[in-house]
Amino acid sequence: MKYPFGIKSAALALSVLGLAACNPSDDNPSNTGNAPDSFNYNTTRNASLTLSAGTGDDKAVGATVIISSRRYAEGNSIDTLAMGATDADGKFTTALQFASTVDTLWAHPMYAGLYGEVAIPVGQGGQLSANLYPTAVSNQRIIQGGTPAYELNGYLCGPVNNLVTPKTSVIGKWDANGTPLNTNGFMVEASDVVSDAFKAKISDRLPESVKIPGSSRADLIQNRQTNLHLNADAEVWLTFVSEGASYRNALGYIAFEGAVPATLPSNDTKRNMLFPNCSFPGSGGDTRTGDKVSIGKFKAGTTIVWFIVADGFEYISSTKTQVRKQLDNQSRTFYSVPAWNPETTAETRNHIVQLQDDETSRIVLGFEDINRQNSNCDQDFNDVLFFATANPYSAIDDNNIPPLNPVVDTDGDGVPDTQDAYPTDPDRAYNNYSPNANDFASLCYEDLWPSAGDYDMNDLVVRYNYNVVTNASNKAVELIAKYKVDAIGASYHNGFGIQFDAAPSKVTGVTYSNTALAGAGLETGVTDKATVNIFQDAFKMVTWGSGQFFNTEMSAAKGTSVTQTVKVSFTKNALSLADLGAQPYNPFIYVNKVRGNEVHLPGYKPTAAADVTQFGKANDKTNPATGVYYKDKNNMPFALHILSFKYPVEKANIKSAYLKFASWAQSSGTQNADWYSNTAAGYRDASKIYSK
């Protein structure tokens, strides 16, 4: 509604926006072209996702998982679309909303022994699934690595391996994935059992994407013992636990019977390659939790120095020839002797955490595989995780090695404090955001329904940020919804509400941060689905000093909006995220405080309080029998929902501001799905978009 005194023009009963391709400055309403009846102008998608972390006795229970629309890369943040834990069956199921332009979602388990990240192609389906768990371990996979027979290029190896190029070598034989093979003449080692309790302790002490420096765990890398020193004769083994990296990392050791040199030795020092590819099946390799190699027997006084070659493994699958492409690249090799590493400051040179676990007689080793002065380094020290054992265990010098502490769960809900957003509240555990933790999505309305408007989609623009708080059982506890009014390009005093799929009895309370702006709360007159009145008058949310309308005219000063936080509490353990309905749920305005005069997103049904006698009047095409709701007779919407959007200025219809809008609509969203976000030439007329 565009007229400051609320005058409705008969001319606005006509469609003023066509969808045919046109000159960007041509707003002639005769340029029409309908979108398909079935197209509901969705710029987001909703899906149900089920993740599996194993089956039977071989599964991860209580493993925290983050779902994101962005791949986690070293040092880069991710948007937390959902977060929860695997249940007693090793499953995690959640409901998601994401932009239609997203083609892949990412699962990021925060649990040792699971994939560090899993790609989930979204396709066109609403039911998504993925596996978080690598292939189960099998016994007798690993050969003993001792007594080298050949030395090539500074690395030690066993019998001649025809799969290895002449410039590199390893202990024993390996297949094209870098997996140790059983070989005649070498003792077979059975895989170690790595319990969930042990993996949980590692995950709690070295959680994914949590920087060790500057955190409460900073003492793990400050002036600590980083090499493995033996005070007595002992045999030593190394067992693979997990990986948290995209690299195919190689791991080896150097043994010194005397003092460890202060500076990096030359290449004639005996370097032993143990695991040339520390990658899970399905993640670039075939190394599995529990895989174990015997390093050998060592004399008292021996110090074992560990080293990692970042992304040091590559193979050519067509010839089954292994190539370790980085083994001679010193800039990508990091040692457990800090002084040998390439960083220029002492405080950044450590690349390993050692943790002792007296309960299992193991020394856990956590590696960081990127130069720590690189801005992309996440410094979580879990890129490769192993543990060392010795016979006798007492031979290991554990002086100044911090303990692998028991998992701390202050509120006793089963979620470790390190992964619990509410560590002292047993009823709350995880945050699930939309569109993400920091940004707001946009809901844009035309308020002349059932008559056609000018389609600048700014009669009322409401921005929201949702956080559904869930408990340890992944059940919804409350919705924390934040709302701002971005624009009021109309004189009508419009109200705003949302409706869930859940019954009203499942809502136990509604509170407002600013009670002076509160609406009616949970509506008692709508009995089929829980409906919450957010505010009754958008004008009470805003303040501005000039211009006819609020934040739609570039010539006027920009006004401000309060942020209204609404908390909707749900019956304990009654609702999953899916039970609430697909986000943004069912948001609607009611025009000029007339509660029955609802305007919804296209394809969304009205609430039971709506005046359905308005359906089909003037320019409205709503027909419940055919499933068409809230579109005009040219199939134009009366509302839009976009995760990130800059709306048009006053009286500039959306077609003329966003030049690919028409082709997107006419193609049912298959073309130019990025019409609202792409700033390339030919995508928008910036002069018609509000940019203050």
Kindly write down the DSSP assignment for every residue of 616-649, as one continuous string.
TSTTB--BGGGTB-SBBTT--BSEEEESS--PBP
Which token pair is 610? 């709506």
**pLDDT above 80 (res 165):** no
Between vectors from CA 425 to CA 419 and to CA 429, what angle results, nearest 5°?
35
**pLDDT above 90 (res 394):** yes
Q: Is there a cis peptide before residue 435, judged by omega within 30 degrees of 0?
A: yes
| Average pLDDT for 680-690 | 97
- Please tell me the predicted confidence (pLDDT) of residue 469: 98
Instruction: Find out whether 377 and 236 touch, Cβ atoms under 8 Å.
Output: no
**pLDDT above 80 (res 511):** yes
Burial of residue 184 (number of CB atoms within 10 Å: 0-12, 13-18, 19+):
exposed
Over residues 584-621, the pLDDT tens digits come to 999 999 999 999 999 999 999 999 999 999 999 999 99
Q: Which comes out higher in pLDDT, residue 258 or 611?
A: 611
- Please tell me the predicted confidence (pLDDT) of residue 136: 54
**pLDDT above 80 (res 170):** no
The two beta strands, 155-157 and 271-275, are parallel
The average confidence (pLDDT) of the chain is 84
The two beta strands, 542-543 and 560-561, are antiparallel
The two beta strands, 44-52 and 127-131, are parallel
Distance CA(588)–CA(605), nearest Å, equals: 10
pLDDT-based confidence at 246, cuts 50/70/90?
confident
pTM, two decimal places = 0.84
The two beta strands, 521-522 and 314-316, are unpaired
| Average pLDDT for 376-392 | 93
Beta strand residue intervals within 513-591, DSSP E: 521-522, 531-535, 542-543, 560-561, 564-570, 586-590
**pLDDT above 50 (res 168):** no
Of the given ranges (81-90, 203-212, 411-420, 588-597), which has the lowest mean pLDDT? Answer: 203-212
Helix H or strand E encompassing 663:
helix 661-666
Q: Which comes out higher in pLDDT, residue 328 or 604?
A: 604
- The closest alpha carbon to 78, from 111, 107, 116, 49, belongs to 107
- The closest alpha carbon to 569, from 497, 498, 501, 506, belongs to 506
Over residues 41-61, the pLDDT tens digits come to 999 999 999 999 988 777 889
Q: Which residue is associated with the tokens 């002449």?
A: 166
Instruction: Give the distance from CA 510 to its chain's centroid.
Output: 29
Residue type present at position 447: D
Between vectors from CA 137 to CA 183 and to CA 142, what angle results, nearest 5°?
20
**pLDDT above 60 (res 324):** no
